């Protein structure tokens, strides 16, 4: 085993234990409740893992390979509940990444450090009802006012959005200028004019909070405008989202591992024609194909994370990891459904949850086709 692999297994073990003892046994109940799991989120935050991506001097864990370790964390949590993992992933990555990377000392003290302790819930909002894949077409308007900015507009699909204390909001200072006019602002959700439209009711990742948000003359003080060079807001948001793709791939992997393990156990227990169905070669081959897909997803995801830890560019590798992990892991969940036969359709078996949740990594952080578009551009096509 390499030194890095050894380090990651040591990092993984206590998280895997917490997932087995605390998260997995509650996953079905969390899915049915369909609410943000405040108590469990706090319990997990107290273990100190929300700061894995950040150095010790900033209040983080200071692990030597933060991207690889956070990949482990996302994978393990998703093995218990992808919905729960998605909220944690947002908190420990994109939402805090923007505060850490482009926030001033005051912002870091007021929002970033408490978010790492789980005392404040953080979110990141770029998507709007009419601007999804084409994020640069967003219309939430930032207007200069005395002492800062005023935000007006709406966001949709914001993870942690209805429970957030603080949201990094991407807005435009001039819609006619597209991506060049985008800037990021940190919004305290207790500010007058901010409101939650609704908590969205979903087919997938029930225990992840997904909100529709409104901004009506919301005042943002100047020191809550995240630093950027002229027009650099889009580039910065894009950088945060690029990193997040590795973790979304890890979410897919963890969820599919749970589906594979459930199918493997079921194949050993369920008997038909006088023997366990796992004795039939057709079922064995299916399980081997599932295992192959998991290995492909695991290798490409951890390779992207290791490249990020080495400081290499990950634009292409993160997109490829998300394509492979999201697609292959979705296929693993579909194959698990087949192995469970009619029981797959029964809500008392978790396999239908694994399949439902496997749609999220295909969309969150950019759809598979947008990832392909991005790689095509990098290939000069
Ligand atoms: C559960 C959930 C959580 C989310 N969390 C967040 C969050 O925390 N913050 C946030 O800002 N956003 C979040 N999102 C939004 C997510 O990033 C968007 O849903 C995603 O980028 C796709 O946008 P859209 O849904 O508007 O689809 P559209 O952009 O309308 O795409 C519809 C279809 O058209 C295809 N398509 C669009 N353009 C092209 C093109 N140029 N070439 C080829 N195909 C194309 C897409 O691939 C897709 O198949 C979340 C979404 C979900 C479902």
The CATH number of residue 197's host domain is 2.40.110.10
Are residues 135 and 89 part of one domain? no
Structural domain ending residue among the three candidates 65, 84, 116: 116
Question: Of 81, 94, 86, 76, nearest to 298 (Cα)?
Answer: 76
Nearby residues of 99 by Cβ (< 8 Å), 6 or more positions away: 107, 108, 111, 112, 115, 122, 166, 168, 186, 226
Query: Is the CB of residue 249 less than 8 Å from the CB of residue 322?
Result: yes
Q: Which contiguous run of DSSP H or E holds residue 8?
A: helix 3-18
> Which amino acid residue places its CA nearest to atom 26 of ligand 1?
132
Are residues 248 and 370 part of one domain? yes
DSSP state of 35: S
Nearby residues of 193 by Cβ (< 8 Å), 6 or more positions away: 151, 215, 216, 217, 218, 219
Are residues 111 and 91 part of one domain? yes
For residue 102, give Cα distances in angstroms to 50, 54, 105, 219: 19, 14, 10, 19
Distance (angstroms) between ligand 1 centre and the Cα of 369 equals 10
Please state the atom number of ligand 1 nearest to the C-alpha of residue 370.
47
> Which amino acid residue places its CA nearest to atom 6 of ligand 1?
158
Q: Return the best residue to mutate from 83, 233, 367 for the ligand 1 pocket (most ligand atoms within 8 A of CB).
A: 367
Structural domain ending residue among the three candidates 231, 257, 272: 231
Are residues 311 and 242 part of one domain? yes
**The Cα angle at residue 372 between residues 366 and 374, in degrees rounded to 5:** 75
Per-residue pLDDT at 228: 77
> Which amino acid residue places its CA nearest to atom 30 of ligand 1?
132
> Which amino acid residue places its CA nearest to atom 31 of ligand 1?
133
Structural domain ending residue among the three candidates 89, 116, 143: 116
Distance (angstroms) between ligand 1 centre and the Cα of 58 equals 32
> Which amino acid residue places its CA nearest to atom 35 of ligand 1?
369
Are residues 193 and 145 part of one domain? yes
**Which residues of the chain carry a pLDDT beneath 50?**
none
Per-residue pLDDT at 229: 74
Per-residue pLDDT at 227: 83
Are residues 51 and 85 part of one domain? yes
Are residues 266 and 191 part of one domain? no
CA distance 216 to 219: 9
Nearby residues of 198 by Cβ (< 8 Å), 6 or more positions away: 162, 211, 212
Are residues 40 and 29 part of one domain? yes
Are residues 245 and 214 part of one domain? no
CA distance 192 to 201: 26
For residue 319, the enclosing domain spans: 234-378
Distance (angstroms) between ligand 1 centre and the Cα of 368 equals 9
Are residues 360 and 241 part of one domain? yes
Task: Name all residues whose Cβ lies below 6 A of ligand 1.
Answer: 90, 124-127, 132-133, 157-159, 205, 210, 360, 363-367, 369-370, 373
Distance (angstroms) between ligand 1 centre and the Cα of 361 equals 11
Are residues 47 and 15 part of one domain? yes
Distance (angstroms) between ligand 1 centre and the Cα of 326 equals 14
Q: Return the best residue to mutate from 364, 368, 374, 376 for the ligand 1 pocket (most ligand atoms within 8 A of CB).
A: 364
Are residues 366 and 245 part of one domain? yes
The answer to whether the predicted template modeling score (pTM) of the entire model surpasses 0.95 is: yes
Please state the atom number of ligand 1 nearest to the C-alpha of residue 161.
8
For residue 296, give Cα distances in angstroms to 115, 141, 185: 34, 42, 38
Number of domains composing the chain: 3
């Amino acid at each position: 085993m390499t030194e890095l692999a050894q380090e990651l297994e040591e990092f993984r073990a206590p998280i895997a234990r917490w997932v087995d003892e605390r998260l997995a046994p509650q996953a079905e109940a969390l899915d049915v409740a369909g609410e943000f799991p405040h108590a469990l989120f706090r319990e997990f935050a107290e273990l100190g893992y929300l700061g894995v991506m950040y150095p010790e001097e900033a209040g983080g864990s200071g692990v030597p390979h933060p991207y690889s370790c956070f990949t482990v964390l996302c994978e393990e949590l998703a093995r218990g509940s992808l919905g729960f993992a998605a909220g944690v992933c947002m908190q420990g990555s994109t939402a805090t990444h923007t505060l850490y990377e482009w926030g001033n000392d005051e912002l870091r003290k007021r929002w970033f450090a408490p978010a790492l302790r789980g005392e404040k819930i953080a979110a990141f909002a770029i998507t709007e009802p009419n601007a999804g894949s084409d994020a640069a077409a967003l219309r939430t308007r930032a207007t200069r006012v005395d002492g800062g900015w005023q935000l007006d507009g709406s966001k949709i699909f914001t993870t942690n959005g209805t429970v957030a204390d603080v949201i990094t909001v991407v807005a435009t200072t001039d819609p006619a200028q597209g991506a060049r006019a985008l800037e990021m602002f940190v919004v305290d959700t207790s500010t007058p004019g901010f409101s939650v439209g609704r908590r969205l009711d979903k087919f997938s990742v029930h225990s992840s909070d997904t909100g529709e948000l409104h901004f009506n003359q919301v005042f943002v003080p100047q020191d809550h405008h995240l630093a950027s060079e002229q027009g650099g807001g889009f580039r910065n948001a894009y950088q945060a989202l690029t990193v997040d793709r590795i973790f979304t791939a890890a979410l897919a992997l963890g969820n599919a591992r749970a589906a594979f393990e459930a199918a493997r156990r079921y194949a050993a227990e369920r008997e038909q024609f006088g023997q366990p169905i796992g004795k039939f070669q057709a079922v064995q081959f299916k399980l081997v194909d599932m295992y192959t897909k998991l290995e492909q997803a695991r290798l490409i995801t951890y390779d992207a994370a290791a490249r990020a830890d080495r400081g290499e560019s990950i634009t292409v590798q993160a997109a490829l990891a998300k394509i492979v992990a999201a697609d292959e892991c979705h296929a693993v969940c579909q194959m698990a459904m087949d192995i469970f036969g009619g029981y797959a359709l029964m809500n008392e078996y978790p396999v239908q949850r694994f399949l439902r949740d496997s749609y999220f990594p295909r969309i969150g952080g950019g759809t598979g086709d947008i990832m392909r578009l991005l790689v095509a551009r990098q290939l000069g096509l």
